[in-house]
């Protein structure tokens, strides 16, 4: 069971070698310079683009392309992963972290953002 993970009460996760991993932060307000990865389906992005973050670059990489496209991303850049409900962003933020990306967060839905 090499891929088995155990979750503790404090929301820390243990890798197969029992090394603790930090949970990925949920962010409601990106910092200037954070790059937002929008993993929604292209039709969702077209219907509701993330144009309410003028200080942030938004790159659209649908969830089904992110595993392949991740190799072209800079591992030192601060990324926030976004999807409509948070499930795909959580899954893909974990994927990026597991592939060695150092600064990963999840951009959460907020009521006060017009585009959301």
- 12-88-47 Cα angle (round to 5): 145
Predicted structure pTM score: 0.76
Q: Residue 2 in contact with residue 16, Cβ under 8 Å?
A: yes
Domains of the chain with CATH codes:
24-107 (3.40.250.10)
The confidence score (pLDDT) of residue 52 equals 87
The confidence score (pLDDT) of residue 78 equals 96
- Segments in the chain below pLDDT 70: 1-22, 109-116
83, 88, 93, 107: the catalytic one is 83
Q: Residue 103 in contact with residue 77, Cβ under 8 Å?
A: yes
The confidence score (pLDDT) of residue 43 equals 93
The confidence score (pLDDT) of residue 12 equals 43
The confidence score (pLDDT) of residue 109 equals 62
Q: What is the pLDDT of residues 4-18, one digit of tens each?
A: 333 333 344 444 544
> Three-state SS across 9-55?
CCCCEECCCCCEECCCEEECCCCCCCEEEECCCHHHHHHCCCCCCCC
Q: What is the pLDDT of residues 40-58, one digit of tens each?
A: 999 999 999 888 898 999 9
The confidence score (pLDDT) of residue 21 equals 57
83 in active site: yes
The confidence score (pLDDT) of residue 67 equals 93
**Partners of residue 77 on adjacent β-strands:** none
Q: Residue 30 in contact with residue 56, Cβ under 8 Å?
A: yes
């Amino acid at each position: 069971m090499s891929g088995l993970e155990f979750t503790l009460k404090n929301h820390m996760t243990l890798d197969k070698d029992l090394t603790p991993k930090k949970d990925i932060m949920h962010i409601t307000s990106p910092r200037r310079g954070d790059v937002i990865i929008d993993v929604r389906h292209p039709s969702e992005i077209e219907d509701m683009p993330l144009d309410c973050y003028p200080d942030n670059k938004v790159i659209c990489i649908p969830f089904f392309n992110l595993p392949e496209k991740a190799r072209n991303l800079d591992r030192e850049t601060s990324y926030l992963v976004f999807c409509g409900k948070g499930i795909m962003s959580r899954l893909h933020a974990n994927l990026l972290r597991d592939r060695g990306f150092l600064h990963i967060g999840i951009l959460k839905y907020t009521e006060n953002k017009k585009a959301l």
